[in-house]
Amino acid sequence: MSVADRLKELDITLPPLPGPAGNYVPAVRTGNLLYLSGKGPGDVKGKVGQNMTTEEAYKHARTVGLVLLAVMQDELGSLDKVKRIVKVLGMVNSAPDFGEQPKVINGCSDLFVEVLGDKGRHARSAVGMGALPSGIPVEIEVIVEVEG
């Protein structure tokens, strides 16, 4: 089954690509690796553990995962060219005593496995940050192995 068929089966529509918020490109390919710039959930603001729950932030991380899939599709022409999600770096705008960053970033990780199966399983870091650009609750970047 193609990834496009899997998305249809799951009733998932990828969002339009957001424009860069600075002087950078959405992705850079070198050899068989595709490095995706960090993405956030749009205009959502919040500090997890202060004015946003873990569950709300999980949903925002899933939204970011959809944006990252859209970037992959745009760069590769087809998500079928993804050989494997290699590494995810999830950054969570966290209250000082918040410690559930892995549960938040599972929103993205769970989506990748749901859509890509074993190709979506990856190494990962989920870290807390004192602040993120524009007050967003999560920012996620990804390294992807792609077909030559």
Structure confidence by residue, pLDDT tens digits, 34-53: 999 999 999 999 999 999 99
pTM of the model: 0.96
pLDDT in tens, 88-120: 999 999 999 999 999 999 999 999 999 999 999
User: Is the pLDDT confidence value at 75 over 80?
Assistant: yes
CA dist., res. 109 & res. 103, Å (int):
10
Q: Give the SS3 label for residue 94.
A: strand
Q: Check residues 61 and 22 and name the one with the higher pLDDT.
A: 61
Residue 59 has a pLDDT of 98
Average pLDDT along the chain: 97
Look at the block and give the residue holding tokens 């969570």.
92
